[in-house]
């Protein structure tokens, strides 16, 4: 009888643990049903370099996630999902697909704002939460379309809070949450919810040796996303590129400390209307794999492109995109030329 008593004493505790886990599961089901209608799957089409083809390019399809934020059909997603897209379609929870227009995009902070071309009835937008109040250890939910499996739920915790306020292009320069929730290709741009059903983050990227989820996912905080898209909105340029410095800049004969090698340009984008040429020749320089042969941007409105001037360049870029007036010096086919065509408003 003595051997049974300790077990009997533990039974109330076991009942509490089991009941708590059941309660959490019920909460997840209810919370998922509440917030899932705000989540959208994003399908993109863009042109990519294809040197083996006579045209030198082909179309490629992309996949991402996003979420509705108001009754007007605005959607927040990750900038890298749509930055060079020629076309974006959003699929709602009921399967309806609607074209979406890119309103703003900030590749440095990896957030973008879209707007549905038409408004269906019954839209249920998500509510943005205050990410400053989030504490490490809190439970979170991520909903997205990993590998195309739409409206997939994963659960985890806030593992850490990071702030990258560097001045080098190519890095996500925003406050982010680190999470152990499963994040894979297709989750990018999707919402991270707290237990109250508020969006506290926008899924951005993972760190992985295998290419899949290894418990190191990162999401731009909701406050950082709101600031980038609504308080300091950066109009969409439709261009992606690679910052050239040091030996990489020297190898491509950049006539100054650094330059920005254009990789892709979306059709009918401000960058395309300026006449910027994308790169199409695959190359490997040192450890860097990239495409070469396109324009290398040297300056914007007489501000030379350099790592120490990235913030100044971003402010100048926003001003230029808003006013529709910009002069860009580029290195093209070994010669420095100036592109100063006006930028039509979108």
Catalytic residues: 80, 110, 188
| H or E stretch covering 114 | strand 111-116
| Overall residue count recorded for the chain in this entry | 346
CA pseudo-torsion sign 144, 146, 148, 151: negative
Query: Helix-strand-coil percent breakdown of the chain, rounded to 5?
Result: 25, 40, 40
d(CA 218, CA 147): 18
Q: How far is CA 229 from CA 75, 225, 330, in A?
A: 11, 6, 28
d(CA 229, CA 74): 11
Task: Render 215-242 in DSSP notation, one character per residue.
Answer: S-EEEEEHHHHHIIIIIS--B---EEEE
Backbone φ and ψ of 131, nearest 5°: -70, -20
In sequence order, the 6+-apart residues with CB closer than 8 A to the CB of 326 are 274, 300, 301, 320, 340, 343
CA pseudo-torsion sign 80, 81, 85, 88: negative
Give the CB-side neighbour count of residue 172, counting CA atoms within 13 A. Answer: 24
d(CA 217, CA 266): 28
How many other CB atoms sit within 10 Å of the CB of residue 174? 25
Residue 74: both structure tokens together: 């605005």
CB 191 within 8 A of CB 179: no
């Amino acid at each position: 009888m003595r051997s049974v008593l300790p077990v009997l004493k533990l039974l109330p505790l076991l009942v509490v643990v089991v009941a708590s886990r059941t309660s959490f599961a019920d909460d997840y089901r209810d919370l998922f049903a509440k917030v899932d209608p705000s989540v959208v799957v994003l399908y993109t089409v863009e042109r990519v370099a294809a040197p083996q083809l006579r045209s030198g390019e082909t179309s490629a399809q992309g996949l991402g996630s996003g979420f509705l934020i108001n009754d007007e059909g605005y959607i927040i997603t990750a900038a890298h999902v749509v930055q060079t897209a020629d076309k974006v379609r959003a699929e709602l929870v009921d399967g309806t697909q609607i074209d979406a227009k890119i309103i703003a995009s900030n590749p440095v902070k990896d957030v973008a704002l879209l707007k549905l071309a038409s408004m269906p009835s019954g839209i249920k937008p998500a509510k943005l939460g205050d990410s400053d109040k989030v504490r490490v250890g809190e439970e979170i939910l991520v909903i997205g379309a990993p590998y195309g499996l739409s409206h997939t739920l994963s659960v985890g915790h806030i593992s850490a809070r990071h702030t990258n306020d560097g001045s080098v292009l190519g890095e996500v320069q925003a406050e982010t949450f680190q999470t152990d929730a499963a994040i894979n290709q297709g989750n990018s741009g999707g919402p991270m919810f707290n237990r109250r059903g508020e969006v506290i983050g926008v899924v951005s990227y993972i760190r992985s040796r295998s290419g899949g989820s290894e418990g190191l996912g990162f999401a731009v905080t909701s406050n950082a996303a709101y600031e980038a898209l609504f308080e300091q909105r950066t109009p969409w340029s439709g261009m992606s590129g690679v910052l050239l410095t040091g030996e990489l800049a020297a190898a491509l004969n950049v006539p100054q400390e650094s330059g920005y090698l254009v990789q892709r340009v979306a059709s009918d984008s401000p960058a395309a209307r300026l006449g910027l040429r994308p790169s199409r020749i695959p190359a490997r320089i040192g450890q860097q794999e990239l495409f070469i042969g396109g324009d290398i941007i040297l300056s914007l409105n007489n501000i030379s492109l350099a790592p120490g001037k990235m913030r100044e360049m971003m402010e100048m870029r926003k001003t230029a995109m808003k006013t529709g007036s910009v002069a860009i010096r580029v290195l093209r086919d070994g010669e420095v030329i100036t592109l100063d065509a006006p930028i039509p408003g979108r």
